[in-house]
Homo-oligomer: A and B are copies of this chain.
Amino acid sequence: MKLKGQEIDERLLKLPGWQYVDGAIKKEYKLKDFQEAMAFVVKIALAAEKMDHHPDITIEYNRVKINLTTYSEEGVTVKDFNLAEKIEKFIGA
């Protein structure tokens, strides 16, 4: 179920660097180099496949841009925040 603006804002408070733009939540990560960027993308891909919920991912050398939305709901849902939280943990891991 699509989240409302206030719910999105509250949840974003716990996800530093994530922003709500055009019906999606997004963040740009900067890694050390291309190898670290690709390893990060592979972790995201495995988590996404497990949850059956897939972000848009852009790789620009050591930068990885993530864009999360739920197409079937035409907006941001709890699924998007669950995956965003997982992605945040990969950086700390």
Contacts and interface: CB of A to CB of B under 8 A. Distances in A.
Q: For A32, A46, A47, which residue has the most chain B Cβ atoms within 10 angstroms?
A: A46
A56 B60 contact: yes
Interface residues of A, number: 26
A85 interface: no
A43 B49 contact: no
A35 B39 contact: no
A45 B34 contact: yes
Contact of A43 (B35, B56, B60, B90): B35
11 contacts: A34-B46, A34-B54, A35-B46, A36-B93, A38-B46, A39-B40, A42-B42, A49-B49, A50-B50, A50-B52, A58-B58
